[in-house]
Amino acid sequence: MNILGLIPARGGSKGIPSKNIVALAGKPLLAWTCEAARATRSLSRVVLSTDDPKIAEVGRAYGVEVPFLRPADLARDDTPSVDVTLHALQWLSAQEGWQADVVVLLQPTSPLRSPQHIEAALAMLERTGADTVVSVVEVPHNFHPWSVMKPNGTWLEDFMLPPNGTDRFRRQNLPRLYARNGPAVLVTYAATLQSGHSFYGKRVVGYVMDRWSSLDIDEPVDLELAEFWLAKTKGR
């Protein structure tokens, strides 16, 4: 099969200016995803989709393909990732005659995701017969819906109550829940994307990652956490 690794990295960012190429442990943030993707043997191609020439330059420097610059109308704050992905698929098909069978979406804001994570998610797609594999992280007990509260005027009230008789303050009673971790890895079939205009088919499987590998760079403090973890694990 033709397996496309797609890295979406637009130029605009608000929380961290030039986030996709901000420095992290001596390299641009984008570089960590480029290197992980290039080290993943199952990927047939690794393509960067960006509207920004500076980001394109960084991508090329780290060995990924940048065959086009994304149109401005696909680089807005509210542009869905599925539209960006469909544009890449259509461009590669129309301009190069290359058809992807499987797409692996790799967000550059997940620098601690490894080639092993990508390979494992791809293997899970084949092994389970799923339409989509999405990376997830287990929801900590303090963020569980039974622990969360919402404002109601001056006061707080429960967001969600457990079944009657359930002791929600006993951690062992909390049902295990998972949250998408960016996602760091999202694997789906091109046919699923094209037929349903969605990454998610009817059969979705979660690929569970640990909390540190799931770190998503959204705010400056996330960069500090990533720096800490990379320094701590250097040489392992």
DSSP structure class, residue 65:
B
Contact 112, 213 (CB under 8 A): yes
Buried b (16+ CB within 10 A) or exposed e, 69-98: ebeeebbeeebeebebbbbbbebbeeeeeb
First to last CA, the chain: 34
The catalytic site residues sit at: 168
CA distance 16 to 184: 19
**Which of 12, 55, 67 shows the shortest CA–CA distance to 31?**
55
CA distance 236 to 228: 14
**Which of 143, 141, 146, 125 shows the shortest CA–CA distance to 199?**
125
Phi, psi of 206, rounded to the nearest 5 degrees: -95, 130
Q: How many residues does the chain have?
A: 236
Contact 53, 126 (CB under 8 A): no
